[in-house]
């Protein structure tokens, strides 16, 4: 462009995002941000119009996790911004980079009761690492660079940029704009050598060690070094849900099938990018030994020492620190013996639990249970599928029944335990797969309640022709439901609002017809044979989205556990 050429605010936003290597934008357009979406497409950013701002924000955050570069969520002012707060909080708690751009009221109408006026910058500070409004058009590229950089550096998270409505079409001379270069990937930090030496010495003296791999390890692309570390040291490892596949679940050192035993009896626990929050029961008894020694490895200094007093702390990038550990173990020629009493105990528990799950999976009774459904899914989907999962029992049982062999190929409710993320995550995964590994299938497995949070995104999936296979495991309720006969019996007592259990949903709902309504393929199945047929057809068809509505026993539950899945803080 010529030096004196004018450029609009919308163009500046789009060009600045593209300069930061932003590839994907999700949102719902309206006043005042329509022009930003159009400008984004003009510079080559892929814009995906969603049906709900929450789902759009979830999709953009999943882009950040899958690619390491934030996706963008574009929302209108007021209610649109508020609907996206759930996605901002989810990204920040999950530690995923995300950029949210929200239109807002014109500057000259502030405090006057403008259309959808809301204190968005102030409200955004609670949910984001950075919440900012550019002071002028000239600084928009610099503000966007800082937001992208902040979203990725240190502990990743969400950043919010507020764009006043009058900025969108306002023009400025391009020569006065403060342009900045693309921010590089985050710098790699390493742990102190003394900390590495101390950690290795503690591990060397452990009688019952356990390596816990967190999704921070997946995000840092540490899989190669972690696999080498596991093989070299012979340590048993336990992946957290979204760390499944960093080391393949079928690796002989994986003790996921003996999770409770491994946690409860380990004398040394090495945390690789995992936090001692509710997912790991805070690192406290009765789930852990009172005298357990914890070695924490994390990129965030503020995380070190949370809930327990660690025996050693290693601050740095997970991949870099794992390489340091690997080098130290190689020097000392240390390997944990595979014939130890600890390994014998773990293998025995693994065998018992796997036999119990297999027994449940092979039951012939109808309606089917969760284990039977997941058994057939496991047998028929490609091993390199990207698995998206949400729901209570659906997600938890699926985590134990459906193995992952590759990193960053499982997306679920995550650290924030957020329901409604499934279809947004699946859309993001399908877009990334389409651009990078088109042969991969995206399998989205939802409980019927979870599907209801974002079910209209099925139209988005069909509009963009994303060949996602959605499997709704339908038990007519939240946790448990009622069959059709019990439902009718309940209604005899009067108003459903006072008689029907709060966990119940309408029995035998035909969710597959939502997919059919938009041009995809829908299947309603009740038997293992029908499930097999629908799965084979859906997986084979790589052009058309599909939804398989699988009816199961409304009272089906997970097998009896040694501990409740959620550890209360007062235990």
Taking residues 25-49, report their average pLDDT: 97
pTM of the full predicted structure?
Answer: 0.96
Residues 6+ apart with CB under 8 A from 29: 37, 49, 74, 76
Q: What is the mean pLDDT of the chain?
A: 95
User: For the chain, first and last CA: distance in Å?
Assistant: 66
pLDDT in tens, 305-340: 999 999 999 999 999 999 999 999 999 888 999 999
pLDDT in tens, 96-134: 999 999 999 998 888 888 888 999 999 999 999 999 999
Taking residues 60-71, report their average pLDDT: 98
What is the Cα 172 distance to its own chain's centre? 40
Tokens coding 56: 């759009």
Residue 111 confidence (pLDDT): 86
Q: Minimum mean pLDDT among 287-296, 339-348, 496-505: which range? A: 496-505
Longest dimension (CA), the chain: 77
Residue 494 confidence (pLDDT): 86
Residue 116 confidence (pLDDT): 87
73 within 8 A of 114, measured Cβ to Cβ: no
Residue 108 confidence (pLDDT): 87
Q: Minimum mean pLDDT among 142-151, 343-352, 431-440, 556-565: which range? A: 556-565
If 0-12 CB within 10 Å is exposed, 13-18 middle and 19+ buried, where does residue 144 land? Answer: buried
Q: Is 269 helix (H, G, I), strand (E, B) or coil?
A: strand
User: pLDDT category, 493, cuts 50, 70, 90?
Assistant: confident
Query: Which DSSP state fits 566?
Result: S
CA dist., res. 69 & res. 75, Å (int): 19
Q: Minimum mean pLDDT among 141-155, 241-255, 478-492: which range? A: 478-492
Tokens coding 310: 């660690």
241 within 8 A of 279, measured Cβ to Cβ: yes
User: pLDDT category, 569, cuts 50, 70, 90?
Assistant: very low
User: pLDDT category, 1, cuts 50, 70, 90?
Assistant: very low
Segment (H or E) for 389: strand 386-390
Q: Which among 174, 181, 175 has a CA at the least distance from the CA of 12? A: 174
Taking residues 541-545, report their average pLDDT: 96
Residue 563 confidence (pLDDT): 58
pLDDT in tens, 147-158: 999 999 999 999
478 within 8 A of 392, measured Cβ to Cβ: yes
- Among residues of the chain, what percentage have pLDDT more than 70? 97
3-class SS letters over 422-465: HHHHHHHHHHHHHHHCCCCCEEEEEEHHHHHHCCCHHHHHHHCC
Residue 255 pLDDT exceeds 60: yes
Residue 204 pLDDT exceeds 80: yes
Residue 557 confidence (pLDDT): 84
Q: Torsion angle of alpha carbons 347, 342, 415, 154, nearest 10°? A: -130
Residue 558 confidence (pLDDT): 74
Domains with residue ranges and CATH for the chain: 6-176 (3.40.50.970), 193-347 (3.40.50.1220), 363-551 (3.40.50.970)
Quickly list DSSP for 326-386: HHHHHHHT----TTSHHHHHHHHHHHHHHHHHHHHHT---SSB-HHHHHHHHHHHS-TTPE
Residue 565 confidence (pLDDT): 54
Taking residues 541-562, report their average pLDDT: 89
CA distance readout (Å), 477 to 89, 424, 470: 27, 22, 18
Residue 501 pLDDT exceeds 80: yes
If 0-12 CB within 10 Å is exposed, 13-18 middle and 19+ buried, where does residue 4 land? Answer: exposed
Residue 570 pLDDT exceeds 50: no
pLDDT in tens, 67-87: 999 999 999 999 999 999 999
Q: Which among 110, 46, 79 has a CA at the least distance from the CA of 428? A: 46
Residue 110 confidence (pLDDT): 85
Taking residues 190-218, report their average pLDDT: 97
Q: Minimum mean pLDDT among 43-52, 170-179, 327-336: which range? A: 327-336
Taking residues 171-192, report their average pLDDT: 96
User: pLDDT category, 571, cuts 50, 70, 90?
Assistant: very low
Residue 444 confidence (pLDDT): 98
Tokens coding 199: 């950690």
Residue 397 pLDDT exceeds 70: yes
User: pLDDT category, 562, cuts 50, 70, 90?
Assistant: low
CA dist., res. 514 & res. 245, Å (int): 32
Taking residues 6-22, report their average pLDDT: 98
């Amino acid at each position: 462009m010529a030096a004196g050429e004018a450029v609009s605010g919308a163009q500046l936003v789009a060009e600045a995002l593209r300069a930061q290597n932003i590839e994907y934008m999700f949102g719902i357009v309206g006043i005042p941000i329509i022009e930003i979406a159009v400008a984004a497409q003009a510079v080559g950013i892929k814009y995906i119009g969603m049906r709900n701002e929450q789902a759009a924000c979830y999709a953009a955050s999943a882009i950040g996790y899958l690619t390491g570069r934030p996706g963008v969520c574009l929302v209108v002012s007021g209610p649109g911004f508020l609907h996206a707060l759930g996605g901002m909080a989810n990204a920040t708690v999950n530690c995923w980079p995300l950029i949210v751009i929200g239109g807002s009221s014109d500057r000259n109408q502030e405090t006057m009761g403008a259309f959808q006026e809301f204190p968005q910058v102030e409200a955004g500070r609670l949910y984001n690492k950075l919440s900012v409004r550019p002071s002028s058009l000239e600084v928009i590229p610099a503000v966007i660079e800082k937001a992208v950089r902040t979203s990725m550096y240190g502990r990743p998270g969400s950043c919010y940029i507020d764009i006043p409505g009058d900025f969108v079409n306002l023009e400025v001379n391009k020569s006065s704009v403060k342009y900045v270069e693309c921010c590089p990937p985050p710098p790699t930090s390493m742990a102190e050598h003394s900390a590495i030496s101390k950690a290795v010495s503690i591990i060397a003296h452990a009688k019952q060690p356990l390596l816990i791999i967190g999704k921070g390890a997946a995000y840092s692309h540490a899989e190669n070094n972690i696999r080498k570390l596991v093989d070299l040291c012979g340590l048993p490892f336990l992946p957290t849900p979204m760390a499944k596949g960093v080391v393949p679940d079928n690796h002989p050192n994986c003790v996921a099938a003996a999770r409770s035993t491994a946690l409860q009896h380990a004398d040394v626990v090495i945390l690789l990018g995992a936090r001692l929050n509710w997912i790991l029961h805070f690192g406290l008894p009765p789930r852990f030994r009172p005298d357990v020694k914890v070695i924490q490895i994390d990129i965030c200094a503020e995380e070190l020492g949370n809930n327990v007093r660690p025996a050693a702390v290693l601050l740095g990038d997970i991949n870099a620190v794992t390489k340091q550990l690997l080098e130290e173990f190689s020097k000392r020629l240390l390997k944990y013996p595979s014939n130890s009493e600890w390994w014998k105990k773990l293998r025995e528990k693994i065998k018992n639990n796997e036999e119990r799950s297999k027994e449940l999976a092979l039951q012939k009774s109808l309606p089917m249970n969760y284990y039977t459904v997941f058994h057939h899914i496991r047998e028929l989907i490609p091993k390199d599928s990207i698995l998206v999962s949400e729901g209570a029992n659906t997600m938890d049982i699926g985590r134990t029944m459906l193995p992952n062999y590759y990193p960053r190929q499982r997306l679920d409710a995550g650290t924030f335990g957020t329901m409604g993320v499934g279809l947004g995550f699946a859309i993001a995964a399908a877009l990334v797969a389409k651009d990078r590994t088109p042969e991969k299938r995206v399998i989205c497995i939802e409980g019927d309640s979870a599907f209801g949070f974002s079910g209209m995104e099925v139209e988005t999936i069909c509009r963009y022709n994303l060949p996602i296979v959605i499997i709704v495991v339908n038990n007519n309720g939240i946790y448990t439901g009622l069959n059709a006969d019990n439902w009718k019996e309940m209604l005899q007592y009067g108003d459903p609002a006072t008689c029907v259990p709060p966990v119940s949903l309408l029995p035998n709902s035909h969710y597959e017809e939502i997919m059919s309504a938009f041009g995809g393929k829908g299947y309603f199945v009740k038997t293992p044979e029908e499930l097999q047929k629908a799965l084979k057809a859906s997986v084979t068809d790589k052009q058309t989205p599909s939804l398989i509505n699988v009816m199961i026993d409304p009272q089906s539950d997970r097998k009896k556990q040694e501990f409740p899945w959620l550890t209360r803080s007062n235990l």
